[in-house]
């Protein structure tokens, strides 16, 4: 399975949010805040890792390297659940964006 790469799309989110004051603090600085784009990127990386683990478990099971179908199905279930949750989060973000665009009209 191919990696989920959204780095180019996430660069567009770097400017999202409240405007920063002239003396801006780093995102991971003393205020303890993490940017939305960083959080989203980290979450997508975790989903991608779960997908890779599931693919590896399936390949190992199909090749006969492991006979434990339970661990394989658990890995697939985790990847499926993480992906579905990610899709729901994406849908909510799109809905919020569309609502903001409707408010501007």
Question: Would you say residue 12 lies in a domain?
Answer: no
CA distance 89 to 42: 14
Question: Would you say residue 6 lies in a domain?
Answer: no
Question: Would you say residue 27 lies in a domain?
Answer: no
CA distance 60 to 52: 12
Span 29-86, pLDDT tens digits? 456 788 988 999 999 999 999 999 999 999 999 999 988 899 999 999 999 999 999 9
The pLDDT of 81-103, averaged and rounded, is: 95
The pLDDT of 81-102, averaged and rounded, is: 95
Question: Would you say residue 79 lies in a domain?
Answer: yes
As a whole number of Å, the end-to-end CA separation of the chain is: 41
Question: Would you say residue 74 lies in a domain?
Answer: yes
- Out of 27-36, 82-91, 95-104, least confident range: 27-36
Cβ count within 10 A of residue 45: 14
**Domain count across the chain:** 1
Question: What range does the domain containing 88 cover?
Answer: 33-104
Question: Would you say residue 21 lies in a domain?
Answer: no
> 54 and 75 in contact (C-beta within 8 Å)?
yes
Question: Would you say residue 42 lies in a domain?
Answer: yes
DSSP state of 30: T
Question: Would you say residue 1 lies in a domain?
Answer: no
Q: What is the pTM of this model?
A: 0.65
């Amino acid at each position: 399975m191919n990696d989920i790469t959204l780095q180019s799309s996430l660069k567009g989110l770097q400017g999202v949010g409240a405007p920063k004051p002239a003396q801006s603090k780093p995102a991971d600085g003393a205020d303890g805040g993490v940017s939305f784009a960083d959080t989203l990127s980290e979450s997508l990386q975790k989903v991608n890792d779960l997908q890779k683990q599931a693919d590896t478990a399936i390949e190992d099971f199909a090749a006969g390297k492991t006979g434990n179908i339970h661990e394989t199905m658990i890995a697939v279930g985790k990847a499926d659940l993480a992906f579905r949750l990610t899709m729901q989060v994406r849908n909510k973000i799109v809905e919020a964006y569309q609502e903001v665009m409707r408010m501007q009209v």
